[in-house]
A and B are shown apart, each in its own frame.
Chain A
Amino acid sequence: MNVSPSVTASGIIVPPPLVMPSRGERVVIGIGEYAVTTSPHAEIVTHALGSCVAVCVWDPVSHVAGMLHFLLPESKLNAERAARQPGTFADTGIPLLFQAAYKAGAIKARLRVHLLGGAAITGGPNGLDVGKRNALIAKKMLWQNGVLVKGESLGGTDTRTVSLSASTGRVQVTRGREVVEEL
């Protein structure tokens, strides 16, 4: 496993675990993954966000943008997986996302943070409550670390596809080709 951050040709810093952009300026992350970009024209996307929560961060001055897609609230549930893929859990993934954003030049007081997902998905891991628990722990960690949430799209029963634009900070929720929400 590559433990060092890598930098793509277009200036996207991708901290471990690695996610390589599929094409051009678009980075797609999956469950347990996160990415931070310094490229002002980049877009970070995650699909099929059900009970998982996506944490999006954006600095409007430096245009540093980052997104984490975590699955479960606490790493104590599976220490082995937490070591292998810390982005799986809120308590290990969220600090890594913020640290990577700061390293890329984001300033905490300027960061705009959005939370998305946390839906009640039938048959999801640990029952219907895990989405709500994911949302609550994200809010708790942000509050305890002195960060307020700019906007959110949480709960419900539908999965979400989320994209974050590094140039505008716009967060979009789409279903198919339809933009259902813009934060």
Chain B
Amino acid sequence: MNLPTALPTDRAALDRALAMVAEESFFAMIDPVPADVSAVDGPMIGARVTFEGAFSGALNCRMPRALAEELTAAFTGEDLSADTAAVDDLAGEFANMVCGRWLTDVAPQWLFRLDHPEVAHVAAPASAPSGMLNGQPIWLELTVEK
């Protein structure tokens, strides 16, 4: 099977993957970022998923920890906001699902290995968020290499 001639950096596909994951598993819609979006006041959480296959790279997903707590409750059906490990795990799984959906969309003819997500406390990026989820900003950064 021939390797891709151009590396996919399809932002629209990434937005679609984010929207699909948010709606199907977290019952939430991704909204546009308002012009006057406030700076995040509180801790942030970041999840990084690396992938390897016909091409390699990583997806970084960052969000306020408060959002991760809400998503954990929505996903598991339980209030696990006090369970730090569960919230960290959910942040990783969220990034894993978005990355997997994106790869399926842009490169359905190849197999990829996705590594277990790395989750850490991070700072809010200086760049604009990718979208708003439950009224809170979420950032997706994708790096792709051969």
Chain B residues, CB < 8 A from A129: 29
Distance of A132 Cα from B36 Cα, bound (Å): 25
| Residues 121-136 of A at the B interface (beta carbon under 8 Å) | 129, 132-133, 136
Residues of B within 8 A of A137 (CB): 27
B29 contacts A140, C-beta separation under 8 Å: no
Interface check A146, CB cutoff 8 A: yes
Taking a contact as CB atoms under 8 Å apart, the answer to whether A143 and B23 are in contact is no
Cα(A41)–Cα(B73), bound, Å: 40
Total interface residues on A, using CB and 8 Å?
A: 10
- Contacting pair A143 B27 (CB below 8 A): yes
Nearest to B73 among chain A residues (CB) is A144
Contacting residues of chain A (80-139) with chain B, CB-CB under 8 angstroms: 129, 132-133, 136-137, 139
Max chain B CB contacts within 10 Å: which of A132, A136, A139? Answer: A136
The smallest C-beta distance from B87 to any residue of chain A, in angstroms, reads 17
Give B13-29 interface residues, CB cut-off 8 Å to A: 23, 27-29
Q: Is B74 an interface residue when CB atoms closer than 8 A count as contact?
A: yes
Nearest CB in chain A to that of B25: its residue: A143
Instruction: Enumerate chain A residues within 8 angstroms of B74, measured Cβ to Cβ.
Output: 140, 143-144
- Is the pair A144, B29 in contact by a Cβ cutoff of 8 Å? no
A164 to chain B, nearest CB (A): 24
Neighbouring B residues of A133 by C-beta, 8 Å:
29
Q: Which residues of B contact A132 (CB under 8 A)?
A: 23, 29
Query: Who on chain A is nearest to B75 by CB?
Result: A143
Q: Complex Cα distance A137/B27, Å? A: 6
| Cα–Cα distance between A146 and B78 once the two chains are bound (Å) | 10
Are the CB atoms of A143 and B29 closer together than 8 Å? no
A133 and B135 alpha carbons, distance in the complex (Å): 13
Q: Are B77 and A146 closer than 8 Å at their CB atoms?
A: yes
Query: Is A136 within 8 A of B77, CB to CB?
Result: no
Please report the C-alpha to C-alpha distance between residue A139 and residue B29 in the assembled complex, in whole angstroms: 13
Chain A residue numbers with a CB within 8 Å of B73 are: 144
Q: How far is the CA of A140 from the CA of B23 in the complex (A)?
A: 10
Please report the C-alpha to C-alpha distance between residue A143 and residue B24 in the assembled complex, in whole angstroms: 12
The CA of A146 and the CA of B27, in the complex, are separated in Å by 15
Closest 6 CB pairs of A and B: A140-B27, A136-B27, A144-B77, A139-B27, A143-B77, A140-B74
Sample of 17 further A-B pairs with CB below 8 A, known A140-B28, A140-B74: A129-B29, A132-B23, A132-B29, A133-B29, A136-B23, A136-B27, A136-B28, A136-B29, A137-B27, A139-B27, A140-B27, A143-B27, A143-B74, A143-B77, A144-B73, A144-B74, A144-B77
Q: List 17 interface pairs A-B (beta carbons < 8 Å), by A numbering.
A: A129-B29, A132-B23, A132-B29, A133-B29, A136-B23, A136-B27, A136-B29, A139-B27, A140-B27, A140-B74, A143-B27, A143-B74, A143-B77, A144-B73, A144-B74, A144-B77, A146-B77
Give the interface of B toward A (CB within 8 A). Answer: 23, 27-29, 73-74, 77
